[in-house]
Amino acid sequence: MRNLKHLLLFLLFSPPMLLLAQSPKTYTISGTIKDSASGETLPGATVRLLELPGKGVSTNAYGFYSLTASEGTYTVLTSYTGYATDTSKIQLSKNTLANIHLNLGQGQLQEVKITSSSSRTSNIMISPAGLQKLSVKDIKNIPVLLGEKDVLKTIQLLPGIVSAGDGNAGFFVRGGGSDQNLILLDEATVYNPSHVLGFFSVFNSDAIKDISVYKGGMPASYGGRLSSVEDVQMNDGNSQKFGVSGGLGLIASRLTVEAPLFDHKGSFIVSARRSYADLFTGFASDTTLKHSKLYFYDVNLKANYQINDNNRIFLSGYFGKDVMSFRNNFGLNYGNATGTLRWNHIFSSKLFSNTSLIYSKYNYNVAIENNFDNIKINSSITDYNLKQDFNYYLNSSNKLSFGFESIFHVTQPGTAISTASSSYNDIFLQKKHAQETALYLSNEWNATDKLKITYGVRLSNLTVLGPGTFYTYDKSGNKSDSTYYRSGKVVKNYFTPEPRFAANYQLNENNAVKLSYDRNVQNIHLLNNSTSLSPTNIYLPSSNNIKPEIADQVALGFYRTFHNHGYEFSTEVYYKNLQNQIDYKNGAQLTGNENIEADLLFGSGRAYGWETYIKKKSGKFTGWVSYTLSRTETKIAGINNGNYYPATQDQTHHLSLVGMYQVGNKWTFSANFVYNTGNAVTWPSGKFAVNGAPVYTYGDRNSSRMPAYNRLDVGATLLAKKTAKYESSWNFSIYNIYGASNPYAIIFQTDPKDASKTQVSQTTLFKMVPAVTYNFKF
């Protein structure tokens, strides 16, 4: 073990140390890239010294960059999608601070055109394999259900990312389950990213600055989930002037206010949404609908203050809730709450630090009332997180990233309390406590002008803690032993190293090959026997019976830009090996079961596939085509005789077509088409009667398929008015314009005329859904 540590340190530090020893006298240029109009920092902006081909750097999550070079005169090229490229000359004879402000290009969020040969070279080199970036332009132009622009619905049009279907919040990334995606909002985990059972996401597009989606090649700073990372950053707020924006729709409306603080040294933003279907149900003639409630709301808050050139603090939060009730005899409310306090500190021109205190909670409450009883059910998961990140720009060829993270998880699997009857046995499932910690270290090494290698490791550990009684079970699921642990007592430790590696090799200025390998570990597990993220999901940490899930993924891709970089093409293959995957025994009871771990089965899995993607980025017509061919299988003793079977999220084909066309300065038309193979399901294979009641029998697990899913959406945006002080537009959209009958559920029931026969029917949520939204900004 000691030798392994020495080898790891040698591999991490020998390339940068060797280059450092060989380097002549050098100086550093560093600073922050910002939007000139709003003062917003621009994460992922590219900064290059044109005289040093291939030696570019991307700004970090807070817009900071650092470049080191020998003494001389350089041309600094700074670019960011949608902004005019900034070019400036600099005489580098000492360490230099250069904060750069970029202007929007002609037309809102126009794509940047870069003509320099060396800048083109860096573009294709800097982006790692498995990373997909979305612009605000893409999100706001794509037609979606009920006209509410949606970050998560948009990423489901990218290769390797598949929706779980209408009315489902879940999505699958490269064969992973819906719970295997790490969804972050300003570093805080969002456990249920949906409103109204998946019809809307919790992300208000007016409050979003940037979203990065990692399907592979995860940086070592991320951990905790097997399949993907969706890192969403909120806007900081306009530090230059007061502004108001919003939208009025048929179902929901939103309003955003932002303004500078403390003489433009800081800013704030408040963005709120609310649906108002409940305002109209009171006028319904149907008594059930008349006395029902169905609405959601959410609020994004953020403030920041620049103490001086080296220190900046941020405070952000999200609060959202869904409320549903029917005739006062059933109620459901659920929601997320997050809070993040961050401190940016620049130690030197080469060393950047961020310290974060993070809070995250998800909970749901169910109320059931009838003539006999009133029952209240609730469940929750709460995280308290301390996170420290460092970026050290060692020289022009090496960037070190290192830090640690410590999360204290508290899960309440469920309680069910009767408030009216003493005959009901109340249920109090014991809380679960766990401490998840991680150390990480990685190096981004520009080995040559054509070869970039990122390598590192994440060392993760989960400590299962008391208080509580922990059981062991025999093969039949019966309790065989129990042990009580007091508060803070260690029950079990799971330590797992997570190596990460990625390499980009540039064949020429337009073509590159990228390779990645990463191991990911997941210690928080979702218990849910459907394909979607349900509001009543149950989360459990690893325990003495549940081991951490592990995924090892390797991916290889070819990337090309052409037609003066107006087009992007990529094709990628991947293979993922999965360990300690969870499935359920036949007839497993997931709710209110204190022995739920006895109903779980564990095994292995594999996922592999091919993705291809082509995008047109410039001109009046823009858009993309993505296609994924994939397979996901699970192998668990006790299911299908121990043979591989399709995982619930297995979908063979996924096709997305997205197009946007600008007509003059007023109109933008858009359309998107989606086709997915149906999910794997288990349908009845026969039935028999017991006391006159039908009892269904089932064949192999997931041996059937839901019907294929297909849909065409169209939209149009009219820029109604644009002046120096006011801007307004109308957005028109039709979801599922040709009314495809996509299945939400398949229902089996006995034929009332012949009990020996079975009727099969399909439930469809949406046929054609038109929407109109008025947007404004001043």
Dig out the tokens for 562 from the structure.
């052409």
Q: Give me the percent of the chain exceeding a pLDDT of 70.
A: 90
The β-bridge partners of 676 are: 654, 709
CATH number of the domain where residue 543 is located: 2.40.170.20
pLDDT grade for 477, boundaries at 50, 70 and 90: confident
Q: What is the mean pLDDT of residues 533-559?
A: 91
Work out the burial of residue 371: count CB atoms within 10 Å of its CB; fewer than 13 is exposed, 13-18 middle, 19 or more buried.
exposed
- Whether the Cβ atoms of residue 543 and residue 432 lie closer than 8 Å to each other: yes
Amino acid present at 189:
T
Say what the pLDDT of residue 530 is.
60
pTM: 0.91
Residues 94 and 161 in one domain: no
Alpha-carbon span 129 to 354, nearest angstrom? 25
Q: Which of 103-112, 326-335, 477-486 has the highest mean pLDDT?
A: 477-486
Q: DSSP secondary structure string, 576-619?
A: EEEEEEEEE-TT---SS-TTGGGGEEEEEEEEEEEEEEEEE-SS
**What is residue 302's three-state secondary structure?**
strand
Cis upstream peptide for 128 (omega within 30°): no
* The pLDDT of residue 15: 58
More confident site: 162 or 536: 162
What are the tens digits of pLDDT across the range 685-742? 888 888 878 888 888 999 999 999 999 999 999 998 888 889 999 999 998 999 999 9
Q: Are 420 and 562 contained in the same domain?
A: yes
* Structural domains of the chain, count: 2
> Is the predicted pLDDT of residue 391 greater than 90, yes or no?
yes
Q: Which residues contact 483 (CB under 8 A, 6 or more apart)?
A: 469, 470
Pair 106, 186 in one domain: no
106 with 187, same domain?
no
Shared domain for 711 and 568, answered yes or no, is yes
Range with the poorest average pLDDT among 243-257, 268-282, 445-459, 614-628: 268-282
Residue 182, pLDDT above cutoff 50: yes
DSSP 438-493: EEEEEEEEE-SSSEEEEEEEEEEEEEEE-SEEEEEE-TTS-EEEEEEE-TT-EEEE
CA separation, residue 214 to residues 107, 182, 657, 708 (Å): 29, 10, 21, 27
CATH number, position 106: 2.60.40.1120
In this structure, the answer to whether residues 111 and 137 fall within a common structural domain is no
* 430 within a domain of the structure (yes/no): yes
Output DSSP code: residue 565. Answer: T
Long-range contacts of 400-403, Cβ-Cβ distance < 8 Å, separation of 24 or more: 400/16, 400/441, 400/442, 400/443, 400/444, 401/219, 401/220, 401/221, 401/440, 401/441, 401/442, 401/443, 401/444, 401/456, 402/440, 402/441, 402/442, 403/221, 403/439, 403/440
Q: What is the pLDDT of residues 488-535, one digit of tens each?
A: 999 999 999 999 999 999 998 899 999 999 999 999 999 875 655 567
Q: What pairs with residue 645 in β-bridges?
A: 634
Q: Computed from CA positions of residues 163, 168, 173, 177, in that sequence, does the dihedral angle turn out positive or negative?
A: negative
Residues 67 and 177 in one domain: no
In a domain, 121, yes or no: no
Q: What are phi and psi of 725, to 5 degrees?
A: -115, -15
Residues 587 and 684 in one domain: yes
Mean pLDDT of the chain: 87
- Say if residues 233 and 186 touch (Cβ distance below 8 Å): yes
Are 147 and 106 members of one domain? no
- DSSP helix/strand/coil, 546: coil
- Any domain includes 704: yes
Per-residue pLDDT, 115? 31
Encoded tokens for 272: 């709120």
pLDDT at site 491? 96
| Whole-number pLDDT of residue 532 | 54
Domain residues for 56? 2-115
Which of these three, 83, 115, 147, is where a domain ends?
115
State both tokens at 703: 């041996």
The last residue of a domain, from among 115, 147, 178 = 115
SS3 call for 574: strand
Residue 122 within any structural domain of the chain:
no
Is the residue at 418 inside a domain? yes
SS3 231: strand
In 3-state terms, what secondary structure has residue 105? Answer: coil
Residue 746 bridge partners (DSSP): 762
527's tokens:
């218990």
Q: Residue 124 — very low, low, confident or very high, per pLDDT cuts 50/70/90? A: low
Enter the tokens of residue 588.
């497993």
Pair 142, 101 in one domain: no
Give me 20's structure tokens. 């450092």
> Does residue 243 form part of some domain?
yes
User: Is residue 124 in a domain?
Assistant: no
Query: Nearest to residue 535, comparing CAs of 694, 703, 320, 729?
Result: 320
Residue 3 has pLDDT above 80, yes or no: no
The length of the chain, given as a count of residues: 778
362 and 406, same domain (yes or no) = yes
The answer to whether residue 120 is domain-embedded is no
Please give the DSSP secondary-structure letter assigned to residue 198.
Answer: G
- Among the candidates 115, 140, 157, a domain finishes at 115
- Same domain for 139 and 104: no
